[in-house]
Structures are given as structure tokens and as C-alpha cells.
């Protein structure tokens, strides 16, 4: 496999895109440690992959939980080559004026806590181990890191913040660690929102008319599944396949290019 012998850590690796990354990384020969808050999702991952994976139940907003995930990867698999920051929350496109000031106060802290602080704390916990292996970090962004209407104000701002984090970390951690981002577009997953906005009981799949409906945002007239986005993660994690790439974001969302007007809606 293209990732043979690599030890990797994926946050939010229990479902959706993170799970697709974990499955593909194992198939490519890597070992995968997952930091995930859902015990049931960890159980499912471990029953699929056995001793190729480790699950750490914890919260990405906690420095201690991030440190535990890194030390689990290092002790189980001898080091850490790749850190994938991926766990995230969505705001379901909630517009500024649709939220009370109090809801904004709490929602901001919760959503930025996961999408931005979670990435910063993960990078902090992983930096030394990844540098030792001359490895790399990959962060999940979104079409919302570039364009409006991939979310509301909180989500869009959080993904722009994460893009800035990638740029700064690529500078600070050079020359030993490459730091890049991948920006997927919509997909039907278990992606949820902040509890403080009463959005923790709803998943993005609940608000999509059907899994094919995402195709209408894409220039390619195609409704991707999580698995369709993982090739870029393999490319960025593989030894020698992206040696010149740092501080880059692969926009693989296909929503920035306008749709041809003659395509069906």
C-alpha cells in the first residue's frame, strides 16, 4: 500500500469523512489511531480493523485528550507520521440575524472550540512526534473556507480560521513537518451542530432532501460520498508523493466553479 508502515492519527475518525479516511488508510497499509467522542463509533471501527487501529475516547477541545491520543499512537505503533485534524461541527447555515446575541455567544464558543481550538490543540499535541518522523499534518476544511453559503457565519468563519492556521503552521513547523489542508464539499454524514444552538440532535443527512441532492451544487453534477474525498489525504500522507507541498489547501469541493446552466437542477 501507499501508506505502508505509517502511523496516523485521525480526529473524529468514527464516522463520515474521518471513518472513510481511517478505512482507506488501513487499506493502504497504515495503522490508525482515532480520537473520537462516540464510544459506539470507536467500537465499530475496532471491530472492522482489529489491531490495525486504536480508539481513544475523548474530546478534541481538551489538551489532555489530544495528548492521550498522541501517546496512544506512539506507544501502540512506535511513533506518529501523520496527524489528521478532522472532527468538526456545522451550524446548519444559520444566518447572523437568525440567532439571538446569547445564542451567538454560546454557539461561537462551542463551534470554534471544536473546529478551531480542536485543530490547534491537536497540532500542539502531535507536533513533536510528527517532527521526529519528518511527517505531515492534514486538516479538513470545506468549501466554506473559501465561499459563503457552505454554512452560516460561525462555520464559515471557523473554516477560514483553520485555513490561516494551516498557513501559519506550515511556516512554523518547516522544514521538518509539512502542513496542508483538504477542502471537501457537501456529503451525507452524521455531521452535527452545537448543543448550545440545539443542533446536536440533528445531522446534515436529516436536512438534505436525499444523498443525490448535493450534485446540484457541483460543477461536476455529482453527489460525492465521503469515500470520494479521501484520495487527497492519501496523496498528502504518502511518503514521497507530495514532497514539495506545504501550506497548501486542495479545494476538492467542485462548488467554486459555476455550474453549467444547461445541467438539470
Q: Minimum Å distance from CB 40 to ligand NAD?
A: 9
| Nearest-CB residue for ligand NAD | 16
Using left for φ > 0, alpha for ψ between -120 and 50, and beta otherwise, residue 254 falls in left
Q: Minimum Å distance from CB 46 to ligand NAD?
A: 14
Angstrom distance (rounded) from CA 21 to CA 30: 11
Using left for φ > 0, alpha for ψ between -120 and 50, and beta otherwise, residue 136 falls in beta
- Residue 65 CB coordination number (10 Å): 20
Angstrom distance (rounded) from CA 189 to CA 134: 32
Q: Minimum Å distance from CB 75 to ligand NAD?
A: 20
Binding flag, residue 15, ligand NAD (CB under 6 A): yes
Binder to ligand NAD among 31, 33, 82, 142 (CB under 6 A)? 142
Respond yes or no: is residue 155 known to be catalytic: yes
Helix axes of 63-77 and 118-132: crossing angle, nearest 10 degrees:
30
Give how many residues touch ligand NAD by CB under 6 A. Answer: 29
Binding flag, residue 87, ligand NAD (CB under 6 A): yes
Angstrom distance (rounded) from CA 160 to CA 150: 12
Angstrom distance (rounded) from CA 182 to CA 129: 22
CB 187 within 8 A of CB 229: yes
Binding flag, residue 184, ligand NAD (CB under 6 A): yes
- Measured from the CB atom, the residue of 12 and 152 that comes closer to ligand NAD is 12
Residue numbers 113-132 binding ligand NAD by CB under 6 A? 114
DSSP secondary structure string for all residues of 201-245: T-BHHHHSS-GGGGGGG-TT-----GGGGTHHHHHHHSTTTSTT-
- Would you state the cell numbers that stand for residue 66, as one nine-digit string? 489530544
- Pick the closest to residue 93 from 147, 141, 139 (CA basis): 147
Binding flag, residue 140, ligand NAD (CB under 6 A): yes
Binding flag, residue 192, ligand NAD (CB under 6 A): yes
Binding flag, residue 69, ligand NAD (CB under 6 A): no
Binding flag, residue 24, ligand NAD (CB under 6 A): no
Give, for 155, the enclosing helix (H) or strand (E). helix 153-173
Binder to ligand NAD among 17, 30, 116, 127 (CB under 6 A)? 17
Residue numbers 234-263 binding ligand NAD by CB under 6 A? none
Binding flag, residue 60, ligand NAD (CB under 6 A): yes
Binding flag, residue 59, ligand NAD (CB under 6 A): yes
- Single out the segment in contact with ligand NAD by CB under 6 A; choices: 44-52, 57-65, 163-171, 236-244: 57-65
Angstrom distance (rounded) from CA 107 to CA 199: 10
Site string (194-233) toward ligand NAD, x via CB under 6 A: ----------x-----------------------------
Residues that bind ligand NAD (CB under 6 A): 12, 14-18, 35-38, 41, 59-61, 86-88, 114, 140, 142, 184-187, 189-192, 204
Query: Which residues participate in catalysis according to the annotation?
Result: 155
Amino acid at each position: 500500500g501507499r501508506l505502508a508502515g505509517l502511523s496516523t492519527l485521525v480526529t473524529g475518525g468514527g464516522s463520515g469523512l474521518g471513518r472513510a479516511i481511517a478505512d482507506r488508510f488501513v487499506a493502504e497499509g497504515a495503522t490508525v489511531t482515532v480520537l473520537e467522542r462516540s464510544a459506539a463509533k470507536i467500537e465499530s471501527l475496532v471491530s472492522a480493523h482489529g489491531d490495525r487501529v486504536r480508539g481513544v475516547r475523548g474530546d478534541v477541545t481538551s489538551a489532555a485528550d489530544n495528548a492521550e491520543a498522541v501517546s496512544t499512537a506512539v506507544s501502540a505503533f512506535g511513533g506518529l507520521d501523520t496527524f489528521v485534524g478532522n472532527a468538526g461541527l456545522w451550524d446548519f447555515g444559520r444566518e447572523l440575524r437568525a440567532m439571538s446575541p446569547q445564542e451567538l455567544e454560546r454557539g461561537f464558543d462551542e463551534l470554534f472550540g471544536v473546529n478551531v481550538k480542536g485543530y490547534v490543540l491537536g497540532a500542539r499535541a502531535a507536533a513533536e512526534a510528527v517532527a521526529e518522523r519528518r511527517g505531515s499534518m492534514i486538516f479538513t476544511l470545506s468549501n466554506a473556507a473559501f465561499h459563503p453559503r457552505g454554512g452560516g457565519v460561525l462555520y464559515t468563519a471557523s473554516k477560514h480560521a483553520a485555513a490561516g492556521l494551516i498557513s501559519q503552521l506550515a511556516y512554523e513547523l518547516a522544514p521538518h513537518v509539512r502542513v496542508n489542508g483538504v477542502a471537501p464539499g457537501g456529503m451525507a454524514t452524521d455531521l452535527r451542530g452545537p448543543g448550545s444552538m440545539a443542533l446536536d440532535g440533528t445531522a446534515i443527512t436529516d436536512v438534505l432532501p436525499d444523498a443525490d441532492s448535493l450534485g446540484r451544487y457541483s460543477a461536476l453534477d455529482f453527489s460525492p460520498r465521503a469515500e470520494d474525498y479521501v484520495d487527497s489525504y492519501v496523496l498528502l500522507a504518502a511518503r514521497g508523493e507530495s514532497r514539495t507541498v506545504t501550506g497548501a489547501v486542495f479545494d476538492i469541493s467542485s462548488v467554486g466553479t459555476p455550474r453549467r446552466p444547461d445541467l438539470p437542477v
